[in-house]
């Protein structure tokens, strides 16, 4: 992966053409995407924001016009779609835009099923289009710190607990999918994992949910991943990794995450410009599909117990 400086250097050349973009969904992520597209960044110079699509009648947002889904799909001007809607709608939007011959950037999780993601990737390849799943968690300062910390160390056991307020499962998917960024951290740090067990504890009347997942590395080292959500729970990550050479307990303050969505856009533009090797793209696809496969296995495991 290129460093941000190398990325910017590659993009400092005057763009020969601009890709027309629509943003689908204008919640938190969609609003950040619109802001980045409208500001003068090296990658934004290759992109031309045409409008946004929303189920709500908004007219315009920050001077950007609302357009219908039909117009976004049929317009020759629109070559790229940013899918920033609710997780449950991602699959349908990706399919429609790929079928219309557009490149797609989608916020994670790409889909709420492994088979659907595999089919969409096949469709993207068949259409010769870029399909990019955002993973801003891999662009965070905390992840860069962890990556340096674990390199060359022999893991004995580890755990990652994430707490936050409640999320509606109908809109955001099963917790293993809505929380796939934590799973992606573990896979990116320790390699492909296998599922040992998974349980889901829910008290719907209290909006309480706790998913406990026991995973294993290829060397049979145990990793525990817990997602706990309830009203009043602060958004927090607690981690503990024990190595033969010592332990890492919780995350030191490693600085502020700046422009992580913009860094993700830089990666996407590099893909549009054909600046990633086939090997890099294949490794990323393998990791993403592995995480979605694990998320689905976890879901099956939890529901088989009910």
Q: Is 51 annotated as a binding residue?
A: no
Q: Is 22 annotated as a binding residue?
A: no
Distance CA 22, CA 52 (A): 5
Q: Is 54 annotated as a binding residue?
A: yes
Cβ pair 222, 190 in contact under 8 A: no
Q: Is 30 annotated as a binding residue?
A: no
Distance CA 35, CA 27 (A): 12
Q: Residue 64's Cα: distance from chain center in Å?
A: 25
Q: Is 55 annotated as a binding residue?
A: yes
Q: Is 28 annotated as a binding residue?
A: yes
Q: Is 29 annotated as a binding residue?
A: yes
Q: Is 240 annotated as a binding residue?
A: no
Active-site residue list: 107-108, 134, 137, 181-182
In our burial notation (b when 16+ CB lie closer than 10 A, e otherwise), range 65-93 reads ebbebeebbebeebbbbbbbbebbebbeb
Q: Is 290 annotated as a binding residue?
A: yes
8-state DSSP, 188? H
Distance CA 127, CA 97 (A): 11
Distance CA 205, CA 130 (A): 43
Q: Is 35 annotated as a binding residue?
A: no
Distance CA 108, CA 105 (A): 10
In our burial notation (b when 16+ CB lie closer than 10 A, e otherwise), range 166-202 reads ebebeebbbbbbbbbbbbbbbbbbbeebebeebebeb
Which residue, 237, 281, 29, 211, is CA-closest to 146? 237
Q: Which residues are annotated binding-site positions for NADP(+)?
A: 26-29, 54-56, 108
Q: Which residues are annotated binding-site positions?
A: 26-29, 54-56, 108, 290-291, 302
Q: Which residues are annotated binding-site positions for Zn(2+)?
A: 290-291, 302
């Amino acid at each position: 992966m290129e460093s941000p400086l190398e990325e910017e250097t590659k993009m400092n050349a005057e763009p020969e053409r601009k890709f027309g973009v629509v943003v689908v969904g204008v919640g938190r992520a969609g609003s950040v995407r619109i802001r980045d597209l409208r500001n003068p960044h090296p990658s934004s110079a290759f992109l031309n924001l045409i409008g946004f699509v929303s189920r709500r009648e908004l007219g315009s947002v920050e001077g950007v016009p609302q357009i219908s889904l039909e117009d976004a799909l049929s317009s020759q001007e629109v070559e790229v779609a940013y899918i920033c809607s609710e997780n449950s709608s991602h699959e349908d939007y990706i399919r429609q835009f790929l079928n219309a011959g557009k490149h797609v950037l989608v916020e994670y999780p790409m889909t709420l099923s492994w088979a659907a993601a595999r089919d969409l990737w096949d469709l993207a390849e068949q259409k010769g289009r870029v399909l990019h799943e955002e993973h801003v968690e891999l662009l965070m300062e905390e992840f860069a710190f962890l990556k340096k910390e674990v390199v060359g160390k022999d893991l004995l056991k580890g755990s990652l607990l994430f707490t936050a307020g409640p999320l509606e499962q109908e809109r955001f998917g099963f917790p293993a999918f809505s929380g796939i960024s934590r799973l992606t951290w573990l896979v990116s740090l320790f390699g492909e994992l296998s599922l040992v067990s998974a349980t889901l504890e829910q008290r719907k009347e209290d909006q309480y949910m706790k998913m406990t997942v026991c995973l294993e590395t290829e060397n049979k080292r145990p990793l525990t991943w817990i997602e706990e959500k309830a009203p009043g729970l602060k958004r927090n990550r607690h981690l503990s990794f024990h190595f033969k050479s010592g332990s890492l307990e919780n995350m030191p303050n490693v600085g502020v995450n700046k422009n992580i969505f913009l860094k993700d856009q830089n990666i996407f533009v590099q893909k549009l410009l054909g600046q990633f090797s086939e090997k890099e793209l294949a490794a990323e696809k393998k990791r993403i599909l592995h995480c979605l496969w694990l998320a689905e296995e976890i879901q099956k495991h939890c529901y088989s117990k009910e």
